[in-house]
Amino acid sequence: MGDSGTAGNTTTVSWVPVLEQLRGFNFGPGRAYNVAQGGATTSSVLSSGQHTELASLVNDGDVTFGALLIGTNDFGANGTGALIASGLLTGQPLQDWLDQRANNIITATDTVLSAGPEGFLLFGVADVTLLPGGRSLITTPEQKQRVGDAVDEINRQIRGYAETSGIAYFDTAAAMRDLLGGTTASLGGVSINLTTGNSDPHHFFRDQIHPNVLGNGVIANMVIASLNEAYGAGIAPLSDYELLQMAGLENEYVEETLSTVDLSPYIVVPEPASALLLLFAVPAFAAAARWTAFLLGMLIAAAACCARGEEAPGEFDWSIFRLPPADAIAAPGAIDPPVEELPEVPVEEPEPPAEEEAVEEVEGDDPEPVPDAVWYQPSTWFIPPYWDVGFQFGLNNATGNTEASSMQVGGNVKRKTEETVFTLKMQYSQGRNNGVENENQAFMMGRNEWTLGESPWSLFVTGTLEYDQFRAFDLRLASHAGLSYLFFDTERLEVAGRVGSGVSREYGGPDDEYIPEASFGGDFEWCITEAQKFSTNVDYYPDWSDFTDYRINTEAGWEIALDGPMDISLKLSVIDRYDSTPNGRKHNDLSTAMLVIWKP
């Protein structure tokens, strides 16, 4: 995938035929597997369908390795590069523009990776200040710095993506600055012009932006070096003599110069599969263990607080914390307290019962023993009236010009008593478009609240787990605790708010560290009629160290009960997860679904 630098144009070829002719690369009949298009930008790669076309070729088994070199035309389109150089495009508008370029590249690559190629090579965006057109238009050090910084910001994001996705990345801008930053370079002992475009083969560029024959040969060597370094391809690099021979300059060859340059510092090598598995499995296993312990602790705490037999409801009962009776323990060296002696009271001996009565008493049933007091009765944990359980399922399918399918499954569990409220939510969704997976995510949330008697205040502990194949991280775990306040609690309306603090961590992403977070949230549930219910909840998690770095999870649902012997209802669901720092991905993940809910 890419632009004319990969597709070629009317005046110049690209690095693709160089590899095809000199190293036998298979780009299909008529180079059908090269889906790059001249003039492409990071946006038009998506709008023209380059990414879905290459993904289909991978799905069909025609293509095993993919590559993407794009971004140069984005700086030329609409004079954006000039606006950046002059300082007219700066601040947040510039950052938004750069984020979108990176997100376009990531989306295109993600689409191909979801088809399962053996490998992928992602090129960083070229430093446009070193192209002949850039050299003539971007002249002052300040202008070069502004544009160079913009290029580096895009490359920072897509390099981080490549590292977390386990694919090869070539730092094009860094290589250009080191190898092509001067006015000339030596290739095979021949001086090559780097500053102007000309069809003369002694020039690296043919025009203002496109490489000449030798330039395409150098790019081809970058591809070879990346495949060798990252995937152990074992392909012989192109020698300086081969490149000069291709340009018709073999008679000027003196010695190998450029081919001896080590390109490995510019290549990000994906971790081996076993290493990736180990790096992910260790923290994930530890996190899963902490998550399991957390949920188990909530269950035990809820059982201990809620299921204590037939005790009267209402006032908060602290008996869960009481010690056993004093006569059940004996502390070493304990001395019984003095007891005041009371005068003896004569006791009259009762008359012995009649013989028949005595016999009846002996033959009668023994009185039932009084059970000892217990702290809780586990059997009451499963009493049905306390529980509200539902399973949901949704399916969408389209055929014809577009083959698309999506599926969502999940469940909701709520146990409410006078002392506690336990909530558990689980959701998984998966989707494909034209045979290419474009959605694969899971979410789990568990929360337990302990009421403080008849007070509207309560204590809460919450844990969440998030997985999304197409976000910048593999797994996010978070846990928060704090106070909750019940504003309304009627038969038809329940409104509550929460405030607390906690920590989150993203595994397998660029921000793989613990982040201290504040927690603000609220729940709203309204039974419109006996057959309709609307509910929504919002949770806001700002970083304690920087409130401009935050997450917002929002969910809303409208349920309509259906008539019938089974407790089945329809639900219109809207879920949005917002991240202010998506690391090159989109800020919002919005999903809507029509679901069927069954409550056993």
136 and 25 share one domain? yes
Do 441 and 428 contact (CB within 8 A), yes or no?
yes
Amino acid identity, position 310: E
In a domain, 415, yes or no: yes
Residues 437-474 pLDDT 10s: 778 889 999 999 998 888 999 999 999 999 988 888 88
| 484: its two tokens | 């909750």
Q: Is residue 356 part of a domain?
A: no
459 with 527, same domain: the answer is yes
CA distance 363 to 540: 71
Say if 326 falls within a structural domain: no
426 and 529 in a common domain: yes
Task: Write out the two tokens for 427.
Answer: 């959701």
Model pLDDT, residue 315: 40
Number of domains in the chain: 2
Q: 178 and 293 share a domain?
A: no
- Whether residue 528 sits in one domain with residue 396: yes
Which residues form the domain of 557? Answer: 276-308+379-598
Q: How distant, in Å, are the alpha carbons of 317, 495, 555 from that of 439?
A: 47, 33, 18
Q: Tell whether 155 and 295 lie within a shared domain.
A: no
Residue 139 sits at φ, ψ, to 5 deg, of -110, -35
283 lies in the same domain as 149: no
CB-hemisphere CA count at 13 Å for 513?
Answer: 5
Model pLDDT, residue 338:
46
Name the domain boundary from 246, 270, 294.
270
Q: Is 361 a domain residue? A: no
Residue in 42, 37, 35, 129 with CA at minimum distance from that of residue 77: 42
For residue 19, what is the domain's CATH number? 3.40.50.1110
DSSP string, 459-473: EEEEEEEEEETTSSS
Tell me the C-alpha distance between 271 and 168, whole Å: 9
The verdict on residue 324 lying in a domain is no
Determine contact, residues 238/220, Cβ cutoff 8 Å: yes
pLDDT of residue 400: 63
112: closest CA among 468, 434, 508?
A: 434
Does residue 367 lie within any of the structural domains? Answer: no
Q: Return the residue matching tokens 């419109």.
A: 528
Residue 243: per-residue pLDDT: 92
Same domain? For 75 and 140 the reply is yes
Q: Are residues 151 and 215 in the same domain?
A: yes
Residue 567's pLDDT is what?
78
User: How is the beta sheet containing 190-197 ordered, strand by strand?
Assistant: 184-187, 190-197, 203-205
Same domain, 149 and 253: yes
What radius of gyration do the chain's Cα atoms show? Answer: 35
Cα gap 463→447, rounded to integer Å: 6
pLDDT in tens, 380-395: 555 555 677 888 888 7
Examine the domain organization and report whether 526 and 553 are in the same domain: yes
CATH of the domain at 387: 2.40.160.40
The dihedral of CA 112, 114, 116, 122: what is its sign?
A: positive
- List, in sequence order, every beta strand (DSSP E) within 417-567: 420-433, 436-451, 457-468, 475-489, 493-507, 514-527, 532-543, 546-561
Same domain, residue pair 486 and 521: yes
First to last CA, the chain: 51
Positions of the chain with pLDDT lower than 50, given as ranges: 273-342, 345, 347, 356-364, 370-379
End of a domain among 270, 299, 317? 270
Helix (H) or strand (E) holding 386: none
DSSP H or E segment with residue 398? strand 387-398
Q: Which residue has the tokens 């690369």?
A: 25
Q: Is residue 313 part of a domain?
A: no
What pLDDT sits at residue 11? 53
Provide the pLDDT for residue 79.
78
Asked if the structure places residue 353 within a domain, the reply is no
Which of 270, 287, 316 is a domain's end point?
A: 270
Q: Are 438 and 429 in contact (CB under 8 A)?
A: no
